[in-house]
């Protein structure tokens, strides 16, 4: 019979079999559900022979880094290496406002940071004659179907070449979730003791807050958006709307200003857009009818608590024609 406990046991056994008694593995954590559950399973199977790598690109939401560094590690006991790459990402993104250019830069820098960390881990272990042969990925069944199936190997080109490592590092993939759907992954994650904030997390794009700032990205704009986003998440959660809403991008229109009045003075600030959507798979979406009193609370709090923001607007566009994200 299908229970999360049975599935977890079976998957852990399979990983043990694949990686063997001495194999070493690496896993990139994104902060999302899939990579966290995959890593937790592999950790159960091979313990410290797994190293998790988390790249903090500085485009995360409030509390996300802490969730990985503290809660994930506390729940799993996994070995974690965090890469502080915020400064590099911000430098590379400076002055860039085109969405696809932002994505390209972030993708490129992400791979560089990840490789740097992997090279270091590999360098340490290579010194003692060990090899890291396995790369863990949180691929789900829908991803497998979409990409035509088949297991494979992954190639990481090393830019850094730390400690005399080969230019091209080749890994065999470990994909313990490849036969599961999202709700099954969540059930397995709960079974493994992962906190609800991780297993229940709504989708969040890899490029993070960078594609939720319409305009160029800088530290100040990120701080503004991070505050507004946290308020929206807090209020939607405490209104019990987490499972009604698929995800709710909070977007800063950094190049738009409007006149407002706050206290005694006239302000000239930026609008924040709330984009709550309901969806099954993100291919299509409907705008969520969030109760007015909840919207009011969010709007009041954001305009009171976030300097620079003097207006909150609601996106009432379905997908299609609008995408879920603004960029
Ligand atoms: P759109 O905006 O295309 O988004 O309706 C559909 C889903 O994909 C997410 N999304 C991304 N995820 N990298 C990601 O990892 C990206 O560049 C990206 N762009 C959009 C979006 O959050 C939604 O869940």
Computed over every residue of the chain, the mean pLDDT equals: 92
pLDDT band at residue 164 under the 50/70/90 scheme: very low
Give the mean model confidence (pLDDT) for residues 102-124. Answer: 89
CA of 205 to the centre of ligand 1 (A): 5
3-state secondary structure at position 272 = strand
Could you read off the pLDDT of 194-235 as tens digits, one per residue? 999 999 999 999 999 999 999 999 999 999 999 999 999 999
Check pocket membership of 322 for ligand 1, CB cut-off 6 A.
Answer: no
Check pocket membership of 160 for ligand 1, CB cut-off 6 A.
Answer: no
Give the mean model confidence (pLDDT) for residues 81-94. Answer: 97
Give the mean model confidence (pLDDT) for residues 304-315. Answer: 97
Give the whole-angstrom CA distance, residue 259 versus residue 269.
7
CA of 74 to the centre of ligand 1 (A): 29
Give the mean model confidence (pLDDT) for residues 21-28. Answer: 93
Query: In the prediction, which pLDDT does 160 show?
Result: 47
Q: Does domain 203-314 have CATH number 3.40.50.300?
A: no
Cα–Cα–Cα angle for 272, 58, 297, nearest 5°? 30
CA of 272 to the centre of ligand 1 (A): 19
Atom of ligand 1 nearest to the CA of 249: 22
CA of 40 to the centre of ligand 1 (A): 25
Fold of 4-198: Rossmann fold (3.40.50)
Say if residue 274's pLDDT is above 50: yes
Residue 143 near residue 175, CB atoms below 8 Å: no
Name the strand (E) or helix (H) holding 185. Answer: helix 182-191
Check pocket membership of 32 for ligand 1, CB cut-off 6 A.
Answer: no
List own/partner pairs for 63-67 with CB under 8 A and 24 or more apart. 63/230, 64/31, 65/31, 67/31, 67/195, 67/197, 67/198
Query: In the prediction, which pLDDT does 148 show?
Result: 74
Query: In the prediction, which pLDDT does 120 show?
Result: 83
Residue 141 burial (10 A CB sphere; 0-12, 13-18, 19+): middle
Check pocket membership of 203 for ligand 1, CB cut-off 6 A.
Answer: yes
Check pocket membership of 208 for ligand 1, CB cut-off 6 A.
Answer: no
> What ipTM, to 2 d.p.?
0.99
Pocket test for ligand 1, best of 100, 208, 324 (most atoms within 8 A of CB): 324
Judged by average pLDDT, the poorest of 1-5, 125-129, 232-236, 274-278 is 125-129
Q: Distance between alpha carbon 220 and the CA centroid of its chain, in Å?
A: 21
Residue 39 near residue 27, CB atoms below 8 Å: yes
Q: Where are the domains of the chain?
A: 4-198, 203-314
Both tokens assigned to 191: 């079974």
pLDDT band at residue 182 under the 50/70/90 scheme: very high
Query: In the prediction, which pLDDT does 147 show?
Result: 74
pLDDT band at residue 246 under the 50/70/90 scheme: very high
Check pocket membership of 207 for ligand 1, CB cut-off 6 A.
Answer: yes
CA of 287 to the centre of ligand 1 (A): 16
Pocket test for ligand 1, best of 31, 105, 205 (most atoms within 8 A of CB): 205
Say if residue 159's pLDDT is above 90: no
pTM summary value: 0.91
First to last CA, the chain: 44
């Amino acid at each position: 019979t299908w229970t999360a406990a049975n599935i977890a046991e079976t998957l852990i056994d399979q990983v043990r079999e694949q990686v063997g008694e001495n194999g070493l593995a690496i896993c990139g954590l994104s902060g999302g559900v899939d990579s966290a559950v995959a890593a937790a399973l592999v950790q159960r199977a091979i313990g410290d022979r797994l190293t998790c790598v988390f790249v903090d690109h500085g485009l995360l939401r409030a509390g996300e880094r802490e969730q990985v560094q503290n809660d994930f590690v506390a729940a799993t006991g996994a070995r974690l290496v965090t890469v502080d790459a915020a400064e590099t990402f911000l430098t590379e993104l400076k002055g860039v406002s085109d969405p696809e250019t932002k994505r390209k830069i972030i993708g490129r820098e992400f791979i560089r940071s990840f490789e740097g960390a992997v090279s270091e881990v590999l360098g340490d272990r290579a010194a003692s004659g060990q090899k890291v042969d396995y790369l863990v990925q949180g691929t789900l069944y829908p991803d497998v179907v979409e990409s035509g199936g088949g297991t494979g190997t992954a190639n990481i080109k090393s830019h850094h070449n730390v400690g005399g490592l080969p230019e091209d590092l080749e890994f065999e993939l470990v994909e313990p979730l490849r036969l599961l759907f999202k709700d099954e992954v969540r059930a397995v994650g709960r079974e493994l003791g992962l906190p609800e904030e991780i297993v229940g997390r709504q989708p969040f794009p890899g490029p993070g807050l960078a594609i939720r700032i319409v305009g160029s990205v800088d530290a100040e704009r990120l701080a503004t958006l991070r505050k507004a986003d946290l308020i929206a998440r807090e209020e939607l959660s405490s209104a019990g709307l987490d499972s009604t809403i698929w995800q709710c991008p909070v977007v800063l229109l950094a190049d738009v200003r409007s006149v407002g009045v706050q206290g005694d003075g006239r302000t000239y600030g930026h609008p924040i857009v709330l984009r709550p959507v309901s969806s099954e798979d993100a291919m299509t979406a409907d705008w969520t009818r969030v109760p007015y009193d909840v919207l009011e609370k969010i709007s009041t709090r954001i305009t009171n608590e976030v300097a620079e923001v003097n207006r909150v607007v609601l996106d009432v566009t379905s997908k299609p024609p609008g995408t879920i994200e603004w960029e």
